[in-house]
Structure 1
Amino acid sequence: MIKSGGTDGRSLVSEKLNTAFVVVGGGLSGVCTAITAARKGVKVVLVQDRPVLGGNSSSEVRLWILGATSHMGNNNRWSREGGVIDEILVENTYRNKEGNPLLFDAILLDKVVAEPNITLLLNTAVYEVHKADQNKISSVKAFCSQNSIEYIITAPLFCDASGDGIVGFLAGAAFRMGAESKEEFGEKFAPSVEYGELLGHSLYFYSKDTGKPVKFVAPDFALKDITKEIPRFKSFNAKEYGCKLWWLEYGGRLDTVHDTEKIKWELWKVVYGVWDYIKNSGEFPEAETMTLEWVGTIPGKRESRRFEGDYMLRQQDVVSQHTHTDAVAFGGWSIDLHPADGVFSEKPGCNQWHSKGVYQIPYRCLYSKNIKNLFLAGRIISASHVAFASTRVMATAAHVGQAVGMAAFIASKHEVNPAVLLHKNFMDMLQKELLKSGQHIPGFELTDHEDLVQSAEISASSEYVLSELPMGILKDLDVSMAQMLPLVKGKVPQVVFHAESETHTTLEIELRVSGKSGNYTPDVVLEKQVLTIVPGRNCLSMEFAATLAEDAYAFMVLHKNPSVKIYHSEHRITGVLSVFNLVNKAVSNYGKQTPTEDIGVDEFEFWCPQRRPEGHNLAIKVEPGLSKFAAENIKTGVFRPTTEPNAWVASPVDQHPTLKLKWEKEQKISSIELFFDTDYDHPMETVLMGHPEDVMPFCVRDYQIKDGKGNVLWKAENNYQTKNVIVLEQPIYTDCITINLTHPSQNTPAALFSVKCYN
């Protein structure tokens, strides 16, 4: 028994933690920051003010994770973010392809608690910052609401990934809220005069079909006249169970930090009012048997403070895809701004403007310009209001967090502050470590002198040559389509395909490429042809006079003709893709982006893949065949398709695909790393949206690694992850390694982006 008499007062139980790196904020960015640093041996304290991890992606808010892939609604091919965030998305798709948000919570917790170098503090809010001097943080003070413990956490390095920037704010870091004028950075999409309005918060709800009539009596606080108060109320799709109403948004004219509770109450009024209208207006008979299963209790925030680094990303960086020597991450979401009045505005819920490809994010945006030991991660990084409209999304924020985590490792190892890493030697080190981890940086490739594979002689039992994608499916050409082909510099090969028609007609064909190397917007027409189509089956041979100035993906475009059917193939090959001139209203894609005025964005067409089980390649024969899938590709230092597939792909008829690494003399090998194809073009939205498969069709499931004497070093079964790291129990000495792969399926040959060996 504990018994205590009255006193004048008591103090909280206090714990002091001394660590190498403090990450404040357990959203997706903070999680990826902490995991990245911890895996490099850095002791991390991760402080999260909520009971679960994930922020807007958690079960408390339930927003799907997206970034450069943009629901497959833009021209950013193979652009899903790599590294830790890729690992998380792939894991979630495997365990949770139906998109259950509770399961995603558990996956994030699993990933964090698996790292012994992370001390996780949930339900713990930072409320005080102590400084060693005017420009340096020495410790933060935080309080856990569940155990009534006060934590004082001391470290040489801090990262603010809190969303609202609580650490940066308390420390005195320079920040901004609202929009800059177009004169400050020359941004044409910025307003003529700066203003303080922001993007608002959103609150989701879930509904459930009970199979029998359910009544609903609205609470007194619910909004009463939805059609009058919300002039642009959209129809309710019962199949979506209410969970895609992201445009139930409010708060852009308030202080999105200090007025959050006020904003939440207004959103509760809206949500319960909307459900009352759906249930009781008679306009939605399909909702008669539905009940309100869940309503968010905290709103999902979009915008509050943005902190200033040594560089502020701006519209031109996004649209013109400026290059930076200190690039460490990339973005690719549209410039996505919302009306300040949110759901009460008569304007559309969002205004998305896409760029023609992904853009680099420089390291200078990821630390405070005046608090010298403070990193920035997530939506608070150094960006203008216009550029923030693209960088704010979670997959981009997570990708940035990984760069910060790796930077913290290097800064900790060398006992320097973040800005010092701009020195070329440190920056080269940072970029190299990020690339090794699987983090893609557009325009960069890994040069890794420690990798023994770089000095090995590479051979394979077979190498795929794209000479034919066999016929399998006949489809209407009711949407213009294009087959993307990885071509070499020089003459374009002959392409043969088949069509059927019931009438005489014509088919317009174009050969296109992108005007910018590394982009996948087919905005340059090299050649046009018109083919005559007769009734019945047509064997069509395309002889192109055009030549390519460099290795690149070319687009053989077949313009829509509802009178024509085209043969497609069921074969899917790493680095080979079909795209369609589709409409995707979810990301303001109407087939073509047409700015209405000079706002500094480009006009271009959208050519996007279809989600599986659709999205079949065109059935074609190519002469001469395309030899872009050689075994030597495993040395390229790029682990996804870019201007070429960058993968070794085995021949489909090779019954035992084998890769052999041979050295002139014995090598000491302690670890082996392999990068497989988990389809970087698939966005892998985490919640609300299901996926057609739990393992990507290109991913090698089973493989063996043997030494030169045939001893099995490693055997993998049912692999589904991108990066496999094999640490041998004891180092081996051998002059040869062989890797035996099994084809994922009869229609998809085995592929491998990279093999690395370290002593």
Structure 2
Amino acid sequence: MHQEKFSKSTRTNKQVALHTDVVVVGGGLAGVCAAIASARSGAKVVLVQDRPVLGGNASSEVRLWALGATSHMGNNNRWSREGGLIDEIMLENLRANKEGNPLIFDAILLDKVVAETNITMLLNTAAYSVTKESANRIESVNAFCSQNSTYYSIFAPIFTDCSGDGIVAFNAGAAFRIGSEDKYEFNELLAPEKANSDLLGHSLFFYSKDAGTPVEYKAPAFAYSQDEIDAIPRSKNIGAKDSGCKFWWLEFGGILDTVHDTEEIKWELWKIVYGIWDYIKNSGKYEDVENLTLEWVGTVPGKRESRRFEGEYMITQHDIVEQKRFDDAISYGGWAIDLHPAEGVYSEKPACSQYHSKGVYQIPYRCFLSRDIENLYLGGRIISATHMAFGSTRVMITCAHGGQAIGEAAAMCAKLNVKPKALLAPKLMSELQNRLNGLGHGLAGIPLTKSDVLLKAEIQASSTLALAEFSQQDDWLSLAQSAAQLLPFTAGLAPTFTVQLSAQEATTLTCQLRVSIKPENYTPDLICKTIELDLHAGEQTVSLDFSEVELITQYGFVIFLANDKVQVRTSAQRVTGTMSVFNKVHKAVSNNGKQIAPPNSGVEEFEFWTPERRPMGQNIAMQITPALQSFAVSNLTNGHLRPWLGSNAWVADLSDKAPTLTLSWPEKQTLAGLRLYFDTDSDHALETVLMVHPEKRIPFCVSRYSIKLEDGTVLMTEGDNYQTLNTIYFKQTISTDKLIIELSHPAENVPASVFDIEVF
């Protein structure tokens, strides 16, 4: 028994002082990836999260789907899904949770963090102030946990603010901005004539379900009436069968203070949400709603925008649209510049306006460095960006990707005992970029530097795919919308393509070979050659002779322009680094088949050519003469971990029943392990909630392989791989002059492939 007598003075709560290498404040996806990255690189980390779960806007408390550069596969950013830690997390979620249950995603994030012994996680703990050693240096963060009545003072040499509102940076005195710059400060033509305080607002989601029996609903007294809901301009968007983040447009608060007025904004959104459910159930305007019940309403609004902090560089609209290259690039983005009216649901304007670039863009390290506080990293949506650029950089998977980058950087700083700005030195920046790429980060255009041990090896394959055809199946694809086969070409003359067509009547079909003006992009904005085919009624085999076209090494599009009287034969084969794409409308990302830029906006006009989601999206059956030689074993050492300019993958021939890679050295090497980089289709968007994915594992990914010595000794066997990056540590170091990697094809119509190998 514990008993205390009356105290005339006030009592104080328990106080704990923690000393660590890195403090990460904020447990959204950016903070989670920052903390894990630092911990895996050897730093001791304290992760401070003010909520009971991790994930921020992706958690079960908010339930917004997490996305980034793939943008629902509705833009021209092919193979752009963010790599590294967030890729690992998303693939884990696909395997365990392809149905998109947000509670399971919570558990996956918690699992990932608690698995790291270097992380001390403080949930339900809110950072509220900092102490400073000097004007430009933080000494500690102070936090309070309401669940255990404990105050924490957490000391470290490096701090990472992923809190969303920038509580650490704000309390430390760092310079910040709220609202939009005028168009003249950075010559951003999308920006308003005059600077303003308008922001993107908060959203609050709800889930409904069919109870199987009639369910009555009586709205709470605080809910808006049906007449009040009917008067909201956005009410015309209400769909009775929609649920969760399909209602992302239930937005409010951009005209208020999105930091200090958040509770008021939440109440307004509650009034709207409960009123909308009353409107759906009881207005009589919707059919088949009798059995619907309100299953869940968010208690925490999803916040889009508040403070943006000033860093060593501020990324702008130009950097995104023009895809500017940076020597200190450590992350990338690809979501559209996505602007919402500040009035939210009360605005007569469209719920959002999205302006895409023609491809992904780089984000430099300097955007993550506080200009003012020497030991502070900025993470998540508070990084140094103009309001226009923020419209793209703010989305969760982009934030997570940057989170891993600054987590890795923080661990480097802690180990080297240097300040974050020291990593701007070219040698240290190259080391940081290489460490990130070694972990599968996927910085396009910045190859992984290969080890001397690997470069000494001769790599031989049991077979290599020469892509001579996509064999046809019985299925036909209507050309009611324009379709194309996207293929990796090597420098030289283009091939001839033979395809099977079926026409309802005599007609003319226009076919083209196109490439991108910027070779690294996947926007087919340069027509190399056009062929007009006069078709007769019925099935016929035709050839598309592009052989006089001189190509460089880049991706190209064999295009069949829309003709609803024609079908083309499809193939069941799927091959790494190839896909079919379509000039189609994708309303979820303001894609109407073509981006129409506002006048004098600095935004380009171009067509969208986007894939269908599996199980759709079959390749177009064709014969290719000469065969494409784009899948050579030499790709395994070029340092590129995904398609970029070329396939960058070794692909086995499907007829090879036992695909094998053999690494041979002229003399014995001492090896501790190796890394293999597999194809988990970085084009496929892996939305965390609401979307139901067609498979638990990506069909291109090698699931079964083994590593052996020349004498048959098995070093390891894997029978259930579904991850991109496989790091294998041998039970003990080995001395050998030969390693053999035996793989299995993922499926009978999908050949085995590997992007990269590294040994250590």
Q: What's the TM-score bracket when you normalise by the shorter of the two chains? A: over 0.9
Which position in structure 2 is the counterpart of 1:90?
Answer: 91
Residue pair 2:493, 2:551 contacting (<8 A) in 1 also: no
Q: What is the DSSP-based 3-state SS (H/G/I as helix, E as strand, rest coil) of the residue aligned with 1:262?
A: helix
Q: What is the DSSP-based 3-state SS (H/G/I as helix, E as strand, rest coil) of the residue aligned with 1:287?
A: coil
Residue pair 1:42, 1:117 contacting (<8 A) in 2 also: yes
2:575 is the counterpart of 1:573: yes
Deviations 1:76-114 (A, max 9, x none): 000000000000000000100000000000000000000
Equivalents in 2 of 1:673, 1:26: separation in Å? 29
Residue correspondence of structure 1 range 506-517 to structure 2 within 5 A: 506-517=508-519
Residue correspondence of structure 1 range 321-470 to structure 2 within 5 A: 321-450=323-452, 452-470=453-471
Equivalents in 2 of 1:322, 1:129: separation in Å? 36
Following superposition, the deviation at residue 340 of structure 1 comes to 0.5
Following superposition, the deviation at residue 610 of structure 1 comes to 0.3
Following superposition, the deviation at residue 297 of structure 1 comes to 0.1
Which of 622, 632, 635 is the matching residue for 1:633?
A: 635
Deviations 1:30-59 (A, max 9, x none): 000011111010100000000000000000
Equivalents in 2 of 1:242, 1:85: separation in Å? 23
Equivalents in 2 of 1:654, 1:238: separation in Å? 52
2:2 is the counterpart of 1:2: yes
Which of 222, 246, 251 is the matching residue for 1:249?
A: 251
- Report the more deviating stretch, 49-58 or 531-540: 531-540
Deviations 1:485-539 (A, max 9, x none): 1111121011100101121011001110001021000001111110011112111
Residue pair 1:61, 1:203 contacting (<8 A) in 2 also: yes
2:590 is the counterpart of 1:588: yes
Which of 289, 295, 305 is the matching residue for 1:293?
A: 295
Q: What is the DSSP-based 3-state SS (H/G/I as helix, E as strand, rest coil) of the residue aligned with 1:234?
A: helix
Following superposition, the deviation at residue 549 of structure 1 comes to 4.5
2:173 is the counterpart of 1:172: yes
Letter in 1 for 2:409: A
Which of 471, 477, 484 is the matching residue for 1:475?
A: 477
Residue pair 2:496, 2:547 contacting (<8 A) in 1 also: no
Following superposition, the deviation at residue 229 of structure 1 comes to 3.1
Equivalents in 1 of 2:356, 2:585: separation in Å? 14
Equivalents in 2 of 1:489, 1:72: separation in Å? 28
Residue pair 1:526, 1:546 contacting (<8 A) in 2 also: no
Equivalents in 2 of 1:140, 1:718: separation in Å? 43
Residue pair 1:226, 1:274 contacting (<8 A) in 2 also: no
2:150 is the counterpart of 1:149: yes
Following superposition, the deviation at residue 708 of structure 1 comes to 2.2
Following superposition, the deviation at residue 267 of structure 1 comes to 0.2
Q: What is the DSSP-based 3-state SS (H/G/I as helix, E as strand, rest coil) of the residue aligned with 1:184?
A: coil
Which position in structure 2 is the counterpart of 1:309?
Answer: 311
Equivalents in 2 of 1:372, 1:665: separation in Å? 48
Following superposition, the deviation at residue 242 of structure 1 comes to 4.8
Equivalents in 2 of 1:232, 1:688: separation in Å? 22
Following superposition, the deviation at residue 9 of structure 1 comes to 1.0
Residue pair 2:450, 2:637 contacting (<8 A) in 1 also: no
Equivalents in 1 of 2:288, 2:250: separation in Å? 21
Equivalents in 2 of 1:561, 1:74: separation in Å? 23
Equivalents in 2 of 1:513, 1:476: separation in Å? 23
Following superposition, the deviation at residue 240 of structure 1 comes to 3.3
Residue correspondence of structure 1 range 533-612 to structure 2 within 5 A: 533-612=535-614
Residue pair 1:704, 1:715 contacting (<8 A) in 2 also: yes
Which position in structure 2 is the counterpart of 1:215?
Answer: 216
Q: What is the DSSP-based 3-state SS (H/G/I as helix, E as strand, rest coil) of the residue aligned with 1:663?
A: strand
Equivalents in 1 of 2:141, 2:4: separation in Å? 31
Q: What is the DSSP-based 3-state SS (H/G/I as helix, E as strand, rest coil) of the residue aligned with 1:191?
A: coil
Size of the aligned set, in residue pairs, is 757
Q: What is the DSSP-based 3-state SS (H/G/I as helix, E as strand, rest coil) of the residue aligned with 1:233?
A: helix
Letter in 1 for 2:641: F
2:555 is the counterpart of 1:528: no
Following superposition, the deviation at residue 441 of structure 1 comes to 1.3
Structure 1 unaligned regions, length at least 5: none
TM-score, normalization: structure 2?
A: 0.99
Residue pair 1:236, 1:284 contacting (<8 A) in 2 also: no
Residue pair 1:377, 1:404 contacting (<8 A) in 2 also: yes
Aligned-CA RMSD value:
1.0
Q: What is the DSSP-based 3-state SS (H/G/I as helix, E as strand, rest coil) of the residue aligned with 1:602?
A: coil
- Report the more deviating stretch, 280-289 or 86-95: 280-289
Equivalents in 1 of 2:497, 2:456: separation in Å? 37
Which position in structure 2 is the counterpart of 1:622?
Answer: 624
Following superposition, the deviation at residue 420 of structure 1 comes to 1.2
Equivalents in 2 of 1:76, 1:149: separation in Å? 47
Equivalents in 1 of 2:37, 2:28: separation in Å? 14
Which position in structure 1 is the counterpart of 2:717?
Answer: 715
Equivalents in 2 of 1:596, 1:46: separation in Å? 44
Residue pair 1:489, 1:547 contacting (<8 A) in 2 also: no
Structure 2 unaligned regions, length at least 5: none
Residue correspondence of structure 1 range 634-653 to structure 2 within 5 A: 634-653=636-655
Letter in 2 for 1:166: I
Following superposition, the deviation at residue 367 of structure 1 comes to 1.2
Could you say if the C-alpha distance between residues 235 and 242 of structure 1 is closer, same or farther in structure 2, counting changes exceeding 3 Å?
A: farther
Equivalents in 1 of 2:289, 2:105: separation in Å? 28
Following superposition, the deviation at residue 545 of structure 1 comes to 4.8
Residue pair 1:478, 1:560 contacting (<8 A) in 2 also: yes
Which position in structure 1 is the counterpart of 2:81?
Answer: 80
Following superposition, the deviation at residue 257 of structure 1 comes to 0.3
Residue pair 2:451, 2:758 contacting (<8 A) in 1 also: no
Which position in structure 2 is the counterpart of 1:117?
Answer: 118
Residue pair 2:65, 2:245 contacting (<8 A) in 1 also: no
Residue correspondence of structure 1 range 51-62 to structure 2 within 5 A: 51-62=52-63
Could you say if the C-alpha distance between residues 159 and 548 of structure 1 is closer, same or farther in structure 2, counting changes exceeding 3 Å?
A: farther
Equivalents in 1 of 2:229, 2:526: separation in Å? 46
Which position in structure 1 is the counterpart of 2:493?
Answer: 491
Residue pair 1:76, 1:520 contacting (<8 A) in 2 also: yes
Letter in 1 for 2:308: R
Following superposition, the deviation at residue 232 of structure 1 comes to 2.6
